[in-house]
Amino acid sequence: MVGGGQGAFIGAVHRMAAALDGEIELVCGAFSSAPAKSKASGEALYLPASRVYGSYEEMIQREKQLPEGERMDFVSIVTPNHLHFGPAKAALENGFSVVCDKPLCFSMEEAYELQRLVRQSGLLFALTHNYTGYPMVKQARAMVRNGELGKIRKIVVEYPQGWLSTKLEDSNQKQASWRTDPQRSGIAGSMGDIGTHAENLAEYISGLQITELCADLSTFVPGRLLDDDGNVLLRFDNGAKGVLHASQISAGEENNLNIRVYGEKGGLEWHQMEPNSLIVKWLDKPKQVLRTGVGDLSPEAAAHTRIPAGHPEGYLEAFANIYRNFAICLRARLQGREPDPIYQDFPTVGDGLRGMRFIQRVVESSESDQKWVPF
């Protein structure tokens, strides 16, 4: 692991998710850019001192020298955005597969370079767009792909939060400080942080790709350096139209990611805060509510359900599905065999590249008088 030391939020989430299925063991780490903090973090995680490093460069070089079977098999990168590229590039160049938190990196130039390295090396690369891991999201994707809704016409995806309704970054709150800092977050605030999740979910469920967009970004909190609210009109490659809304100043909202997809025959509705339910609305018959683990669901949904119906599966389990699928595919590769296609389902560097392009084009559109820009 790179990053995720003491005081970090997302590092602990990654560790819990990776460990959930017993497929992955944390064996080493460079948990902070401060060597002393990295050492203290590793000690708190019960790692041997010899496998806790002061920098990711040291970790990659030292691990590479260990015998095969003893050294690490892949690197998990859980740092702020501006620190994704360095360790990802170093890992790929030295023969290690990568799991990386989203967004992919800091700039389009870095994104293209990582895509080139993945293609050149043939190594695995997973991006933790964790919302794609929910069983009911996979059920929705399967229903669309199987043509049950007919041709898709309309997609509405929303991600409102309220935690940045005040200038929280002035209190030195760690998450607010780096997410609102252009030097660490990149060219976008709410759109880079959560808008990319909405974009990825819309494309994942629908199987479509955005071809054009028209964006309006706002910064409502005085003195904030990046957007904290945004609205985007979308055009998709089959002619469908969409609306995407991402906000971190929607006071009172928690983590209310939700999506509606409408086709010629019916529509789907899914809410991240009620993730075990998928609402299906038909043109000519009563509404249905599908539930995780209940009834005749798609093989994709069933394969990503762990516990009996009525027992909530949520954020950590969805995160864990990405790690489990990645581990199954990596183990198969190390053993020289092809993994079951149902487990080859996790976001890749290509999804990360589209997320970075989305950020770039949204900012470009918002600043332009022309508004509609090609994706």
Q: Where are the domains of the chain?
A: 10-123, 133-309+351-367
pLDDT of residue 8: 87
Give pLDDT, residue 164. 98
- Is the pLDDT at 371 greater than 90? The verdict is no
- b/e 308-343 (16+ beta carbons within 10 angstroms → b): eeeeebebebbbbbbbbbbbbbbeebeeeeebeeeb
Per the prediction, the chain carries an average pLDDT of 96
Q: Quick one: pLDDT at residue 7?
A: 86
Give residue-wise pLDDT tens across range 186-227: 999 999 999 999 999 999 999 999 999 999 999 999 999 999
Closest CA to 74 of 58, 86, 63: 63
Domains 10-123 and 133-309+351-367 share a fold: no
CATH of 10-123, one of 3.40.50.720, 3.30.300.130, 3.40.50.300, 2.60.40.10: 3.40.50.720
Q: Model's pTM, two decimal places?
A: 0.95
Structure token pair of residue 206: 């629908």
* pLDDT above 90: residue 76: yes
- What is the per-residue pLDDT across 38-73, written as a single tens digit (0 to 9) for each? 999 999 999 999 999 999 999 999 999 999 989 999
Q: Name beta bridge partners: 268.
A: 261, 280
What pLDDT was estimated at residue 290? 97
Share of the chain above pLDDT 70, in %: 100
User: Cα dihedral sign for 265, 270, 275, 281?
Assistant: negative
**Which CATH number does the domain 133-309+351-367 belong to among 3.40.630.10, 3.30.360.10, 3.40.50.12780, 1.20.120.1200?**
3.30.360.10
pLDDT at 312 over 90: no
Between strands 373-374 and 241-247, the pairing is: unpaired
Averaged pLDDT, 134-154:
98
